[in-house]
Amino acid sequence: MKLTPKQKIFCDEYLVDLNATQAAIRAGYSERTAKEVGYENLTKPHIQKYIDERMKNRQQRTEITQDKVLQELARVAFARGTDFAKVALRIGYRDIVDKEGKVIGQQPFEYQAVEIINTDDIPEDKRAAIASIKQGTNGIEVKPYDKVKALELLGRHLGMFNDKVELAGEMGVKIIDDIGSGDDEGS
């Protein structure tokens, strides 16, 4: 079966964001029925075949695979702050002053400071987890991508999280009949 021009536009629009309702609207279907039309279009074998072929071609063209996406998520999910910075022991000096406030020497003291690791020294797989690096009011700021979100997406892929709740069991109903039980004392 051949696609109609409107169905082809629907498919092309669906491939933009994988939103069937919006694709139907952008293809010229009524907003009032777009949700139903989008769903119905996706259930038609010839439309699904066309979309699958286009997705496969895009995957080959861009070389984006599920494995690559999972690897990138894993880079973000398993990155640690210590991949980008370290706490180092430093030595500083304090002025020693006499009773008149005159500096008469310096005294060493130890303190801890955060040192940013040079980006050239960070392995490529760890650099992939960095969303931005900028000079802020408190010095250099390294902002990683959202680790929790990456872990959630990986967990969902692995089937670790189930948002559906299933209830099973038997529900017993007991009917009590007080009518005509013969317990009426006043009759």
- Report residue 173 as tokens: 């109903």
Q: Is the per-residue pLDDT at 24 higher than 70? A: yes
Amino acid identity of residue 93, one-letter, is Y
For residue 181, name the pLDDT band (cuts at 50, 70, 90). low
Instruction: Enumerate residues 6+ apart whose C-beta is below 8 A from 42.
Output: 14, 20, 48, 51
Number of H helices, E strands in the chain: 7, 4
For residue 187, name the pLDDT band (cuts at 50, 70, 90). very low
Give the residue extent of every domain in the chain. Answer: 5-64, 81-148
**CA–CA distance from 74 to each of 69, 144, 160 (Å)?**
9, 13, 15
Closest CA to 115 of 155, 142, 75: 142
User: What number of residues does the chain have?
Assistant: 187
Greater confidence (111 vs 65) lies with 111
Side-chain-side CA neighbours of 90 within 13 Å: the count stands at 10
* Coil/strand/helix, residue 110: strand
Closest CA to 85 of 133, 128, 117: 117
Instruction: Enumerate residues 6+ apart whose C-beta is below 8 A from 31.
Output: 25
Instruction: Give the C-alpha separation, 142 to 86, whole Å.
Output: 12
Q: What is the pLDDT of residue 17?
A: 86
Q: Is the per-residue pLDDT at 9 higher than 80? A: yes
Lowest mean per-residue pLDDT among 45-59, 126-140, 164-178: 164-178
Greater confidence (158 vs 95) lies with 95
Architecture of the domain whose range is 5-64 = Orthogonal Bundle (1.10)
For residues 143-150, average pLDDT: 92
